[in-house]
Amino acid sequence: MKTIKVIIAGPRGRMGREAVKMVQETEHFHLEAVLDRKHNGKVLSDIEGFQGVNADIYTDIDECFSQHQADVFIDLTTPETGYIHTKKALESGIRPVVGTTGFTDSQLAELKELAEEKELGCIIAPNFAIGAVLMMKFSQMAAKYFQDVEIIELHHDRKLDAPSGTAVKTAQMIAEEREAKKQGHPEEKETIQGARGAVIDGMHIHSVRLPGLIAHQQVMFGADGQTLSIRHDSYNRASFMSGVRICVETVMKVETLVYGLENILD
Ligand code: NAP
- Residues 200-208: what's their mean pLDDT? 97
Task: Report the amino acid identity of residue 247.
Answer: C
Rounded to whole angstroms, the Cα distance separating 202 from 119 reads 37
Residues designated as active site: 155, 159
77-117: pLDDT as tens digits: 999 999 999 999 999 999 999 999 999 999 999 999 999 99
Rounded to two decimals, the pTM is 0.88
Q: What is the SS3 string spanning 161-186?
A: CCCCHHHHHHHHHHHCCCCCCCCCCC
29 DSSP β-pair partners: 4
76 lines ligand 1 (CB under 6 A): yes
Which DSSP state fits 193? T
Q: Give the mutation target among 12, 14, 15, 240 for probing the ligand 1 site: most ligand atoms within 8 A of CB.
A: 15
Residue 176's Cα: distance from chain center in Å?
A: 21
User: What confidence category does residue 231 fall into, taking pLDDT thresholds of 50, 70 and 90?
Assistant: very high
Give the model's pLDDT for residue 266: 76
Q: Is the pLDDT of residue 203 over 80?
A: yes
140 Cβ closer than 6 Å to some ligand 1 atom: no
Contacts of 228 (CB under 8 A, 6+ apart): 142, 146, 220, 221, 222
Helix (H) or strand (E) holding 200: strand 198-200
**Is the model's pLDDT at 43 over the cut of 80?**
yes
Task: State which H helix or E strand residue 243 sits in.
Answer: helix 241-251
The residues facing 194 across adjacent strands are none
**Residue 255's pLDDT is what?**
97
1 — pLDDT class (breaks 50, 70, 90): confident
103 C-alpha vs ligand 1 centroid, how far in Å? 13
Supply the residue whose CA is at minimum distance from atom 18 of ligand 1.
81
For residue 265, name the pLDDT band (cuts at 50, 70, 90): confident
Average pLDDT of the residues in 201-227: 97
Q: Tabulate helix, strand, coil % of the chain (nearest 5).
A: 35, 25, 40
- The share of the chain scoring above pLDDT 90, in percent, equals 96
Verify whether ligand 1 is closer than 6 Å to residue 15 (CB atom). Answer: yes
197 lines ligand 1 (CB under 6 A): no
**Upper half-sphere CA count for residue 142 (Cβ side, 13 Å):** 22
CB 234 within 8 A of CB 132: yes
Q: What is the pLDDT of residues 135-174, one digit of tens each?
A: 999 999 999 999 999 999 999 999 999 999 999 999 999 9
Please give the radius of gyration of the chain, using alpha carbons only, rounded to the nearest integer. Answer: 20
Q: What pLDDT does 121 receive? A: 98
Ligand 1 atom nearest to 243, measured from its CA: 40
Q: Return the pLDDT at 104.
A: 93
Q: Is 136:262 a contact under the CB 8 Å cutoff? A: yes
Cα separation, 78 vs 90, whole angstroms = 18
Phi (first) and psi of residue 248, to 5 degrees: -65, -40
* Type of residue found at 21: K
